[in-house]
Structure 1
Amino acid sequence: MKPRVSVVIPVYNEGENIVRCLDRILREVLLPAEILVVHDMPEDTTVPYTQEIARKDPRVRAVLNTYGRGPANAIRFGIAAAQAPVAVVTMADGCDDPRQIDELARLVERGVVVAAASRYMPGGQQVGGPRFKRMLSRWAGRTLHIFARAGTRDATNSFKAYDTEFVREVGIESRTGFEIGLELTAKATRLGRPVAEIPTIWLDRQLGESQFDLGRFMPGYLRWYFFAYGRRLTSERLAARRPAGLPTQRRAAAQESSANEFQDAR
């Protein structure tokens, strides 16, 4: 059965921690789904645990990212590899609530291009995490919602669902950190495409160490924060702004499809 939702999980040496994450997702996601565990290197400690689960449940796949190292490239690769019309990005650290994956996916099926799990709308909450990072994230989300009229009060949260055709249309330019969620929200806002949100309770990770580096990733966040403000763009004008030589997500998806067909042939 073709999946209705592709769950994209970027990982880096999560090791045995991935077992708890996948167990929860497999238990809570009721829609036909594929779960793509995207890793940067064959020797990643997450891989053997993922492969063991995949042998028991065909929904799970360990996918080697060939776009370059780092979370942004892993997410780009995962969305390009997605076979479903909806891709949900979630983290491996247990911060996100997998019970909401189906609800986010259904919002996209109803017509929104970005569906956000929001910590900062009524009913949402963030538990734990660095105070300064939490303050910046909340401020960015609220100002974008009020002044740029973004359809979510939590534009920086990575836990989002995307219309994969929309992503392949507008492309992903981020190459460093976790700002893809903000980039695609900003692009949807400038294009006038629908963005929606549902409340979520985010819990700081209990196992392992976070790979988030605020100082390193801040320039990317600032770029897309300010991009969200401005006059309405058309798809053509948005494409014209893309740096020369940057491949579209649609072309990347075609390359990934060809690679998969080659692997199947072998």
Structure 2
Amino acid sequence: MSVVIPVYNEGESIVRCLDRILREVLLPAEVLVVHDMPEDTTVPYAQEVARTDPRVRTVLNTYGRGPANAIRFGIDSAVAPVAVVTMADGSDDPRQIDDLARLVDRGVVVAAASRYMPGGQQVGGPRFKRMMSRWAGRTLHWFARVGTRDATNSFKAYDTDFVRTVGIESRTGFEIGLELTAKANRLRLPVAEIPTIWLDRQLGESRFDLGRFMPSYLKWYFFAYGRRLTADQIVARRGPASPAPADPTMEKENSASG
């Protein structure tokens, strides 16, 4: 699998995140630390980890700044058939990365870590954001039958062929998880979930701006409802796609270049 971690000035805290992932992930994997600018404070610390573990690579995002573009670029840069998106803030449980990847290997196109199914939990975070996320997850599960109770969670695994077929239109924030879940639902492709315990970040500050991201979330929330579409119909409604990285060796700043 390819583990995609979008970062923004995480500094030394990325070391703890990477140590946890490298310790808990047992399947063959590459870990892509995707940053928007060469001077990002995350880079030197991530490259130091990469010197001792070749699974880690820092990747410079050239699609534009912001988490949506970083995730898009990371998935396009992935060499594995499964891409798992996880955050750098320690909120996601790295022990579940292998389980999510195995679900995709078994045939689902989106595997979600769910805070809202039995056995799941969300600890901390802004109350209004929690309420809206839970409401969206429940209503999409009940009425749109999307296959998960937590469509908005970013901690998901994807079939990379599916992602490259339907494309990613999000350009703002973390709504990619909802977008790809909604597209899988309209294509009537399988989505599955496992319970997770999400912990609000302990280091640094959250950059989630609900007011700014809400229009994009609502767009994909309503898109999840509707008749079945074909892949061609999904592609036809997309705008021009950004070119994929032509040569991973040119786009990835690994430990040797540091």
**Aligned mate of 1:247, from 241, 246, 249:** 241
Aligned to 2:152: 156
How many Å apart are 1:258 and its aligned residue? 2.8
Q: Which residue of 1 aligns with 2:110?
A: 114
In structure 2, relative to structure 1, the CA distance for the partners of 1:259 and 1:56 (3 Å cut) is closer
Give the structure-1-normalised TM-score. Answer: 0.93
Identify the residue that residue 231 of structure 2 maps to in structure 1. Answer: 235
Structure 1 Cα separation of the partners of residues 50 and 31 of structure 2: 10
Name the CA distance, whole Å, in 1 between partners of 2:16 and 2:52.
15
Match of 1:258 among 232, 247, 250: 247
**One-letter code of the match for 2:56?**
V
| C-alpha displacement of 1:241 | 1.3
Runs of 4+ in 1 over 6 A off after TM superposition: none
Q: What is the aligned-residue identity percentage?
A: 83
> Does residue 51 in structure 1 map to residue 40 in structure 2?
no
Separation of aligned partners in 1, 2:195 and 2:251: 42
Q: Deviations over 1:19-66 (max 9, x none)?
A: 100000000000010000000000000000000000010000011000
Q: How many residues align?
A: 254
Query: What is the DSSP-based 3-state SS (H/G/I as helix, E as strand, rest coil) of the residue aligned with 2:247?
Result: helix
Q: Does 1:223 align with 2:219?
A: yes
Q: How does 1:1-266 map to 2 (within 5 A)?
A: 5-243=1-239, 246-247=240-241, 252-253=243-244, 256-258=245-247, 260=249
Q: Distance in 2 between matches of 1:262 and 1:206?
A: 31
- Is 2:11–2:42's contact at 8 Å kept on the other side of the alignment? yes
Change (3 A) 1:58 1:171: same
**Runs of 5+ unmatched residues, structure 2:** none
Letter in 2 for 1:49: Y
- Spell out, residue by residue over 1:66-96, the C-alpha distance to the aligned partner (whole angstroms, 9 max, x if none): 0000000000000000010000000000000
How far the C-alpha of 1:262 sits from its partner, in A, is 8.3
Q: Deviations over 1:101-159 (max 9, x none)?
A: 00000000000000000000000000000010000000000000111010000000000
SS of corresponding position for 1:7: strand
What TM-score does the superposition give when structure 2 sets the normalisation length? 0.96
For the aligned residue pairs, the C-alpha RMSD in angstroms reads 1.5
